[in-house]
Chain A
Amino acid sequence: MSRPRLIKESSAPLPLDRELLVRIHDLMVKTRVLEERLIQMYKQGHGYFWIGGPGEEAFNVPLGLLMKKGQGPEYDFLHAHYRQSGTLLALGEEPIGALRQMKNTASDPYSGGRNFAGHFSLRKYNVAPVSSPIEVQYSIAPGTAMVQKRVGGDGITIVTGGDAGTAEGDFATCLVWSSRPANPLPVLIIVTNNKWGISTSAEGQHGEPRVSERGKAFNIRSKTINGNDPVESYLELKEAMEYVRKERRPFLLEANVSRLYGHSSASGANYVTEEVDCLKDFEKRLEQDGVLTRQQMDDLRNRYTEDMAAAARIARDEPLPEPESIWKHIFAEDK
């Protein structure tokens, strides 16, 4: 379906501009440090629950960089799940927003202290509110794509979820509704496959060898990629997005990723050593190719760690929402 990529040869030079490689790396480090800070905040009692996506930076950062960012159907819509801080940072969000959400402050820009960490909502960039029930976003995504197709232009709808949630009917809904012969839709259907649903391994639950193969039954172009490689992710996402933008048809992309800190604080949120660490692997290659030195990368990480600690201190001292604010925003007119 698509040409083999030289990037899989570890000796081949990285096929992206140095500037882009450095930017991807910067955002991956920023994301990782943010997630580690969120976990620390949870463990220190500065939040009730942590859930996030360390291990998915190599995929999520390129996704955010490639999105056509803006508000309204001319721009891309993102129906995300709760492991995508990397995508949000790549869209230009500052990490303190996520820290404020963890601390449930009134200043939390995504929910005003009402929702869990990682549950972003950003209308200015078409990021639909993230929901805790997994996979409902797969039922909603065709709706925004319908509007986009009608409006014209090249805006697409991107929906992401995990492999466990593909057992839900909503995933089938997305495949069916995106590929209706009456109105095929510009939806990039993404599954980040970390091979786990909380404590249950995919091996015991999924008979299909690859989730992407489910696209075949619906005549949906599909592919499985290595989501732990940011260069492969960037190139494959770019190609898939260009297809959806131009053809106004769906594409199913499965990205194999790692789950470096377990499912959430419910499973301990401790580093899992046996998983591939996309950031470590990428840094090895950057160093090997002379893109960045170890020292530069260490300095970057230290700087972000300090920044994040300072931001966490700011968030910690901010007030919680006023009790009477529960009555605000039940309806659009309750401002």
Chain B
Amino acid sequence: MANMAQAIRMALHYAETHLGVTDIFGEDVGAPLGGVFTCTQGLKTTWNSPLDERGIIGAAMGIAMGGGRPVAEIQFCDYVYNTIDLLKLAGNTCWSSNGDWNLPMVVRTPVGSGIRGSIYHSHSFDATMTHIPGWKVVMPSNPLDAYGLLISACKEQNPVMYLEPKALLRVKGEERIPGEPDDDRTLSKLIDAPLGDRSQWKPQWPEALEAFAVPIGKGKLVREGHQVTVVSYGRTLPLCARAAATLADEGISVEVIDLRSLWPYDWDMMKASIQKTGRVLFVNEDTEVTNFGEHLVRRTVDELFYSLLAPPRLLAGKFVPGIGLADTLEMASVPQQNDITTALRALAGEQP
């Protein structure tokens, strides 16, 4: 099975050959590197930009205005912060021009902890990004969704922020992307650039790749359960799924929802689940103050208060200025497997 980086690459290949993507660009996105996480190796419309994030977002906006379809990359989300006003502008361009202009553009950026990235390569961006209206925001937790969400993003008429959980970029999927070869080694031989001299290398893209699209705004019911609901996305989703499996052995039934799209999000799916279980835990790794999960907690209280058997909970990153390099510091800063299992166990046992 493809890993997430390969899935992203195959989706971009599909998008530039079938969906009209004209420019895939950013720092080190083009040859020879093809992205620091290898997500853009071998693609035909890639090019290397100056080391200038404002230029990257601005150029993407201009290309979209001009009639192109750009997919821009910010190397780490930690560096997208100096483009915040441009992101705001991209988000309000359709609205402020009363529908005169719209920007079909995608921005991809790796987010979150898990690669021992220290203070400037571990940040999350979901809380900040969901605070900027006018964007659609997605974040896959597995290669198939990574492929399908990117296909949808590249069909959009609006700006889409595509957040890549960097801890999962090398994790192989459990489901096959429609059209990928049966065997991992074959896939790697076809589309992974060799180490060393790549000047003569060209990828051989699987010909059977399909326009498999995950609709933006639709969550995924990862595991059914009836005692407690856990809602997550990105790096913490697989941890939640494992926690649910562990707790099943203890006789606790956990329903797991992968939100996939943060804006717009699948409230119907969450609502149905919370009404069924009466208990909900939201999990992400962004800092916990003014966290996107806090919004979900608020909406749960507003709309589902009388269905609840316990207060809705949020498990998120600690409100500290950064993630320290030492293993102990990183582990203490963002939710880990044990934190999630413990929180779910406690919530399941909480009585009104």
In the complex, whether A12 has a CB less than 8 A from a CB of chain B is: no
- A180 and B133 form a contact (CB under 8 A): no
- Which listed residue (A136, A140, A176, A335) contacts B99, Cβ 8 A? A335
- B86 and A145 form a contact (CB under 8 A): no
17 A-B contacts (beta carbon < 8 Å): A77-B65, A114-B95, A114-B98, A121-B98, A123-B100, A128-B101, A143-B58, A143-B66, A147-B22, A147-B68, A177-B50, A329-B95, A330-B94, A331-B94, A331-B136, A332-B99, A333-B158
User: Least Cβ distance of B241 to chain A in Å?
Assistant: 31
- Beyond A110-B98, A139-B58, A182-B48, 14 additional contacts (C-beta under 8 Å) are A122-B100, A136-B58, A142-B62, A146-B23, A148-B66, A150-B68, A170-B54, A173-B58, A176-B52, A177-B59, A182-B47, A329-B97, A330-B133, A332-B158
User: Least Cβ distance of B13 to chain A in Å?
Assistant: 20
Q: How far is the CA of A208 from the CA of B60 in the complex (A)?
A: 31
Residues A143 and B158 in contact in the complex (CB < 8 Å), given A114-B95, A176-B50: no
Q: How far is the CA of A143 from the CA of B125 in the complex (A)?
A: 25
Q: How far is the CA of A140 from the CA of B90 in the complex (A)?
A: 10
- A140 and B102 form a contact (CB under 8 A): no
Residues of B within 8 A of A72 (CB): 67
Quick one: CB contact mask for A139-168 with B, threshold 8 Å, 1 for yes?
111111111101100000100000000000
Q: How far is the CA of A293 from the CA of B222 in the complex (A)?
A: 81
- A143 and B65 form a contact (CB under 8 A): yes
- Near B by CB (< 8 A), chain A positions 68-121 give 72-73, 77, 79, 108, 110-112, 114-115, 119, 121
In the complex, whether A197 has a CB less than 8 A from a CB of chain B is: no
In the complex, whether B328 has a CB less than 8 A from a CB of chain A is: no
Nearest 3 interchain pairs by C-beta: A143-B62, A139-B58, A147-B66
In the complex, whether B134 has a CB less than 8 A from a CB of chain A is: yes
Interface size class on chain A is 35 or more
Quick one: CB contact mask for A162-197 with B, threshold 8 Å, 1 for yes?
000000011001001100101100000000000000
Residue of B nearest to A148 (CB): B66
In the complex, whether B200 has a CB less than 8 A from a CB of chain A is: no
User: Least Cβ distance of A98 to chain B in Å?
Assistant: 15
Residues of A within 8 A of B96 (CB): 111, 114-115, 119, 121, 129
In the complex, whether B93 has a CB less than 8 A from a CB of chain A is: yes
Q: How far is the CA of A90 from the CA of B96 in the complex (A)?
A: 23
Residues of B within 8 A of A177 (CB): 49-50, 52, 55, 59
In the complex, whether B153 has a CB less than 8 A from a CB of chain A is: no
- Near A by CB (< 8 A), chain B positions 37-52 give 47-50, 52
User: Least Cβ distance of B271 to chain A in Å?
Assistant: 21
- B98 and A111 form a contact (CB under 8 A): yes
- A143 and B98 form a contact (CB under 8 A): no
Q: How far is the CA of A45 from the CA of B65 in the complex (A)?
A: 35
In the complex, whether B85 has a CB less than 8 A from a CB of chain A is: yes
- B59 and A139 form a contact (CB under 8 A): yes
Q: How far is the CA of A77 from the CA of B99 in the complex (A)?
A: 18
- Near A by CB (< 8 A), chain B positions 51-82 give 52, 54-55, 57-68, 70
